[in-house]
Chain A
Amino acid sequence: MVNWMTLSPELFYGLVMTAVFMVLCLVPANPRRDHATALILAAVGLAVTVGATGMRGDLFVDTYRVDLFSQVFKVMLSLGLLLVVLLCSELAGVDEKRHALVYLLLSLCTLAMMMLVSAVNLVTIYVALELSSYCLYVLVFLRKGQARSAQTAIRYFLVGASASAVMLFGLALIYGAARTTSVVALSAALPQLISRPDVLTGLLMVLGGFFFKLALFPFHFWAPDVYEGAANQVAAYIATASKVATVAVLIRIVAMAGDGSLLLVRALAALAIVSMTVGNLTAIVQKDFKRMLAYSTIAHGGYILLGILSMSPEGFSAAVFYAFTVLVLKFSCFFVLAKVATDGANLSIDGLAGLHRRSPLLAMVLMMALFALAGIPPTIGFTGKLFIFTAAMAKGHLVLVLIAMFNVVVSLYYYLLAIKAAYLTEPAKNLPAIRLSVGERLLAGALVAVTVCAGIFPAPLLDLAEAAVRTVI
């Protein structure tokens, strides 16, 4: 007998939210009504998810597990959805008739990612992953000016499809070796098999499917195009919620390997190094703000992988903490982006010029977020990096940490370019001040407060992350 209460977040997003927006898709469009509905539903969804953090249970013939780990991630996911919906008050990048469709796909994608973090069977994981990916392909396509967005979406789809193919092949290899697809059974079986090259290959290929989501080398090619080609709000969703879900499932998969094997660690280390280096070096020469953020995401994926490949509880909880960090910081950047580019167009870095006059509050949000991404204390970005690097050092990855630290310095260089544009460059023509509603002011203040306070007092969050991680290893 399934206890449906344990599934309340999934049920809410899957039944209530999608049903409401399916109806709204059919009736004549009204952007304000759609946005208000989405806002209320996303807020209720967050409340439901928070309320369900205490739920535990194994469901559907043990393919689906509700535990603290999955619930923590579900809270982050619904928080991510709520934040992105908050940005949608000016959804100028998408045709008005399709706003309801955007909300529908966003809730469906959130549902898929909730299933992803709870799934404990490789096949379930695969299905959930595909569902979330397909929502995103369509979302990218929905931007105004379809010739361009269609191109982007097709390229996104092509890379995604090859990643899925690689992942399926990996699943087959693992199933061939261990004769099971259950993550629980695999955690018992894999540590004995881990020295076999075919198992290692299978594991790496399964991880490949998630590297695609996390935009890690060599599956990173889509990120700059998609960030640039998608509507700003959709890009924000891809940069925040979608990354969080991926970290969860990466931890689940890597934790199956027990202490891991040296070969696997080395392979992951190589990918992490190339990711951060390619990401940071390429970001330096970008002119478009979203492209720069995309490359910075690739680099941050490398840092997260550094925590995961430590294969220790400290490393995993550092990665969870860092996922939250990325959620907050990247959202701050996209918040500023969406408020500056109200016409829904892309924003060049020079387009930030004079921001400190147009809106001191937004300029401060941007500065804090970028300083935090560059790891300047006492922000959350510094604390997150401290945890990851400490965990990696404890496992003796000295060279790896060294390379990562140099990457952090390189990244400071291009973050300063954006800060300089916002604070020091004078715009070519006088631009009007940016008006923020009371709610947006509060949101901006909250983002800065979280960036600083969670940096200084990380203990509650870290404790939660540690408790969550303990349930999967």
Chain B
Amino acid sequence: MTAATPDTVTTAAVLLATGLPFAAFALIMAALRGRPRLCAGLSIAAITVSLSAALLLLVRHWHMTAPIGAAAQWLVSGRITVSIGFLLDPTSLLMLTIVTAISFLVQVYSLGYMAGDPGFARYYGCMSLFAWAMTSLVVSPTMLQLYVFWELVGVASYLLIGFWYEKFSASEAGKKAFVMTRTGDVAFFLGLLLVLVHFGNLDILKMNAGDVPLHMPPAMITLSALLIFGGIVGKSAQFPLLTWLPDAMEGPTPVSALLHSATMVAAGVYLFARLFPFFRLSPTAMTVFLAIGTISMLLASTMAMVTRDIKQVWAYSTISQLGFMIMGLAAGGYVAGVFHLTTHAGFKALLFLCAGVFIHTFGTNDMFAIGRAGGRALKIPMICMTIGAAALAGLPPLSGFFSKETIMGRLAGLSNPLWLGAGLLGAFLTAYYTFRLIFAVAVPAPEKSGDEAPVGAPHGGHGGDPHHDRHYRLMAAPLVVLAGVTLALGWAHGALGRFLTAVDPGLDAHPAAHLAWLPYVAIGLALAGVLLAWVEFGRTASARIGFVERVEPVARLFARRWYIDDFYRWFLDRVVYARLSAFCDQGDRRVIDGGLDAVARGTVGGSRRLSVLHLSMVQYKMMVIFAVMGLLTLYFFLG
């Protein structure tokens, strides 16, 4: 398949959508850092134009039958070509709209949330950097260009998490996120190199065109698919690289809403959808993806059941839902996965932004403390969060219900019933932990609410602020918009499905199984989860202890994230730092310290003793040099 040439309006719109945020970023960083309000205005203006351009593109090309793209040669060396440009097809158009829309809403919301912050200008600069990198990632026509922006969104994420400078944990979390995702990118990049060397091309359309098997043996395709999937595992925080995402919640809440739920982490799933025909060439790889998605979905759900931190719950649920999307795609459901990606972006951004209002108002992340402080008095966020939660739990008629059903249908179509069972279990757990949070905030424990905080009067760090009302309105407006989207988007299922498969009907070739009982079972399980949450947390008289927390070892296992982090910590401390780095460092460290001492003391005896040590250390180095050369010589003679 080749891309059609774009007309002038399309080219201009793409350039505006991707270029303006960069211009805003450059201007803010170069000249305007001293004028925070102007920076915010500039950034929001840029993203508004981007959003309009994206919507224009979506409407213009709603009936597209062939992808549209333009590319220029960037590097030609031997039989390897790399080009830069843009590529528009239904998936990228949809994703472009999602990214610009959520960016726009979050930037408006941040006007209230970040007001008065000393780093206001820098915050908007980084937001523009992210918008530029993410929109450019979405329209990339080649994997190399995609990889470049893939790393740049990582940089933006690093800068935005470490945004609150004074918080040590934030900068640590930023670093952890960056290094962990880059670990996944090692595999990703290696996979790309494999394709580049064997196939000679990283053009997305060509990789998907189906003639890859002519150039690469099946084992090589499987290997490169698995390696590329490594990047998805890192970026979308899937097992075993999932622990960076909860820590990344140290960043400001709008950042969590934009990067760490709706868009950046979804880039992994987007990449899966992008290379879907390529991945499908290897059934083995698809099965591995299915397993990774399932494990991540279930693990993260269990973690969400025990945490008290409101943002952590949504973070775990993001991992879990991304895993669910990967399950859907790996089960062959292209439309199912992309549709869930779309609905999830809406309701998860909504949930985070609601959580942000609570955190902003009450100054705490603890859901029970928010409940006691009178969280339900904030009407708009409370209602919106309940809508989002119901969508996440998969209750009709909200958007989440429809997209979850399509994935369930796909899972039911697989020959092994295990996957469907896991999916249904996940639906139950999701409903349980979601409504545990809702009830914890909405129905505070009665005995404590009396003495600590009068119900119905929100107060906290911002209570006495005269600007508070204006900030509250600025934050509430995006919530209402997103809640409306969550209510409506489910009905667009059919239209979106037709749009996504218009260019390549082969994408969704195998129809899903239609089991009449499946929706009822799924709804039943979701309702059972809600009911259980109500029994344990929702009644005034309930003990507010989850069934998991009654079994101490299991609760600890979940709360410690299945000891995955402890394993990494142990590995880094014991193996890398204590053994390897220390061993490598040992040789010269001793010499240097000895040398300093010798100069400092200057005593004859001390110097003599240390100079013996020196001499021996130089000898030791010489010995290594000659031993290595000798061994290699031996190797030459014996080999």
The yes or no answer to B595 lying at the interface (CB within 8 A) is: yes
| Residues B190 and A402 in contact, CB atoms below 8 Å apart | yes
The yes or no answer to B580 lying at the interface (CB within 8 A) is: yes
Task: Report how far A86 CA is from B628 CA in the complex, Å.
Answer: 40
Q: Which residues of B contact A256 (CB under 8 A)?
A: none
Task: Report how far A281 CA is from B77 CA in the complex, Å.
Answer: 34
Task: Report how far A221 CA is from B623 CA in the complex, Å.
Answer: 12
The yes or no answer to A158 lying at the interface (CB within 8 A) is: yes
Question: A151 and B193 in contact (CB under 8 A), knowing A200-B636, A204-B632, A282-B581?
Answer: no
Chain A contacts with B in 417-446, Cβ cutoff 8 A: 420, 423-424, 426
Question: A147 and B193 in contact (CB under 8 A), knowing A162-B622, A218-B628?
Answer: no
Which of B181-189, B314-322, B358-366, B441-449 participates in binding chain A? B181-189
Task: Report how far A408 CA is from B154 CA in the complex, Å.
Answer: 15
Would you give 15 A-B contacts (Cβ < 8 Å), ordered by A?
A159-B621, A166-B625, A201-B636, A218-B625, A221-B587, A377-B148, A382-B148, A386-B144, A389-B193, A398-B190, A401-B190, A405-B190, A412-B182, A416-B178, A424-B165
- One digit per residue, 1 when the CB lies within 8 angstroms of any chain B CB and 0 when it does not, for chain A 247-280 equals 0000000000000000100110011000000100
Task: Please name the residue on chain B nearest to A403 by beta carbon.
Answer: B186
Chain B contacts with A in 573-612, Cβ cutoff 8 A: 576-577, 580-582, 584-585, 587-588, 591-592, 595, 599
Residue among A148, A151, A208, A378 with the most chain B CB within 10 A?
A: A151
| Residues B190 and A409 in contact, CB atoms below 8 Å apart | no
- One digit per residue, 1 when the CB lies within 8 angstroms of any chain B CB and 0 when it does not, for chain A 458-470 equals 1100100010000
Q: Which residues of A contact B580 (CB under 8 A)?
A: 281
Task: Report how far A393 CA is from B224 CA in the complex, Å.
Answer: 13
User: CB within 8 A of B628: which of A217, A314, A406?
Assistant: A217
Q: Which residues of A contact B626 (CB under 8 A)?
A: 162, 166
Task: Report how far A382 CA is from B627 CA in the complex, Å.
Answer: 35
- One digit per residue, 1 when the CB lies within 8 angstroms of any chain B CB and 0 when it does not, for chain A 29-71 equals 0000000000000000000000000000000000000000000
| Residues A420 and B171 in contact, CB atoms below 8 Å apart | yes
The yes or no answer to A219 lying at the interface (CB within 8 A) is: yes
Q: Which residues of A contact B636 (CB under 8 A)?
A: 197, 200-201, 204, 263, 267
Shortest beta-carbon contacts, A-B, top 9: A377-B148, A282-B584, A218-B628, A405-B186, A197-B636, A221-B621, A200-B636, A197-B637, A393-B193
User: CB within 8 A of B618: which of A158, A278, A314?
Assistant: A158
The number of residues on chain B lying at the interface, defined by a beta carbon within 8 Å of a beta carbon of chain A, is: 59
Taking Cβ atoms with an 8 Å cutoff, the residues of B that contact A are: 74-75, 77-78, 80, 144, 147-148, 151-152, 154-155, 158, 162, 165-166, 171, 175, 178-179, 182-183, 185-186, 189-190, 193-194, 196-197, 576-577, 580-582, 584-585, 587-588, 591-592, 595, 599, 614, 618, 621-622, 624-629, 632-633, 635-637, 639
Q: Which residues of A contact B148 (CB under 8 A)?
A: 377-378, 382
| Residues B592 and A424 in contact, CB atoms below 8 Å apart | no
| Residues A225 and B599 in contact, CB atoms below 8 Å apart | no
The yes or no answer to A334 lying at the interface (CB within 8 A) is: no
Task: Looking at the assembled complex, report how far the CB atom of B223 sits from the nearest CB atom of chain A, in whole angstroms.
Answer: 9
Given A162-B622, A424-B171, 5 more A-B residue pairs with CB atoms under 8 Å apart are A197-B636, A271-B628, A371-B155, A386-B144, A405-B190
| Residues A390 and B155 in contact, CB atoms below 8 Å apart | no
| Residues A282 and B585 in contact, CB atoms below 8 Å apart | yes
| Residues A409 and B625 in contact, CB atoms below 8 Å apart | no
User: CB within 8 A of B633: which of A204, A271, A458?
Assistant: A204
Task: Please name the residue on chain B nearest to A217 by beta carbon.
Answer: B628
Task: Looking at the assembled complex, report how far the CB atom of A313 sits from the nearest CB atom of chain B, in whole angstroms.
Answer: 9
Chain A contacts with B in 223-254, Cβ cutoff 8 A: 224-225, 228
Task: Looking at the assembled complex, report how far the CB atom of B628 sits from the nearest CB atom of chain A, in whole angstroms.
Answer: 4
Task: Looking at the assembled complex, report how far the CB atom of B618 sits from the nearest CB atom of chain A, in whole angstroms.
Answer: 6
The number of residues on chain A lying at the interface, defined by a beta carbon within 8 Å of a beta carbon of chain B, is: 62
Task: Please name the residue on chain A nearest to B166 by beta carbon.
Answer: A426
Task: Looking at the assembled complex, report how far the CB atom of B536 sits from the nearest CB atom of chain A, in whole angstroms.
Answer: 41
The yes or no answer to A394 lying at the interface (CB within 8 A) is: yes
Task: Please name the residue on chain A nearest to B77 by beta carbon.
Answer: A314
| Residues B175 and A420 in contact, CB atoms below 8 Å apart | yes
Question: A166 and B629 in contact (CB under 8 A), knowing A267-B636, A378-B152, A406-B186?
Answer: yes
Q: Which residues of A contact B194 (CB under 8 A)?
A: 393, 398
| Residues B75 and A458 in contact, CB atoms below 8 Å apart | yes
| Residues A390 and B186 in contact, CB atoms below 8 Å apart | no
| Residues B183 and A281 in contact, CB atoms below 8 Å apart | no
The yes or no answer to A7 lying at the interface (CB within 8 A) is: no
| Residues A155 and B152 in contact, CB atoms below 8 Å apart | no
Q: Which residues of A contact B151 (CB under 8 A)?
A: 376-377, 382
Task: Looking at the assembled complex, report how far the CB atom of B181 sits from the nearest CB atom of chain A, in whole angstroms.
Answer: 10
Task: Report how far A228 CA is from B592 CA in the complex, Å.
Answer: 10
Q: Which residues of A contact B190 (CB under 8 A)?
A: 398, 401-402, 405
Q: Which residues of B contact A406 (CB under 8 A)?
A: 183, 186
| Residues B581 and A284 in contact, CB atoms below 8 Å apart | yes
| Residues A284 and B171 in contact, CB atoms below 8 Å apart | no
- One digit per residue, 1 when the CB lies within 8 angstroms of any chain B CB and 0 when it does not, for chain A 362-383 equals 0000000001000011100010
Task: Report how far A375 CA is from B636 CA in the complex, Å.
Answer: 35
Task: Report how far A394 CA is from B196 CA in the complex, Å.
Answer: 9
Chain A contacts with B in 387-404, Cβ cutoff 8 A: 389-390, 393-394, 398, 401-402
| Residues B152 and A225 in contact, CB atoms below 8 Å apart | no
Question: A281 and B625 in contact (CB under 8 A), knowing A390-B196, A408-B186?
Answer: no
Task: Looking at the assembled complex, report how far the CB atom of A305 sits from the nearest CB atom of chain B, in whole angstroms.
Answer: 14
Q: Which residues of A contact B182 (CB under 8 A)?
A: 409, 412
Task: Report how far A208 CA is from B429 CA in the complex, Å.
Answer: 62
Task: Please name the residue on chain A nearest to B154 by beta carbon.
Answer: A376
Task: Report how far A414 CA is from B155 CA in the complex, Å.
Answer: 15
| Residues A158 and B622 in contact, CB atoms below 8 Å apart | yes
Q: Which residues of B contact A158 (CB under 8 A)?
A: 618, 622
Chain A contacts with B in 282-304, Cβ cutoff 8 A: 282, 284-286
Residue among A217, A218, A393, A412 with the most chain B CB within 10 A?
A: A218
| Residues A409 and B183 in contact, CB atoms below 8 Å apart | yes
Task: Report how far A158 CA is from B625 CA in the complex, Å.
Answer: 12
| Residues B599 and A155 in contact, CB atoms below 8 Å apart | no
Q: Which residues of A contact B185 (CB under 8 A)?
A: 409
Task: Report how far A184 CA is from B210 CA in the complex, Å.
Answer: 48
Q: Which residues of A contact B591 (CB under 8 A)?
A: 155, 225
Task: Report how far A407 CA is from B190 CA in the complex, Å.
Answer: 13
| Residues A221 and B162 in contact, CB atoms below 8 Å apart | no
| Residues A284 and B178 in contact, CB atoms below 8 Å apart | no
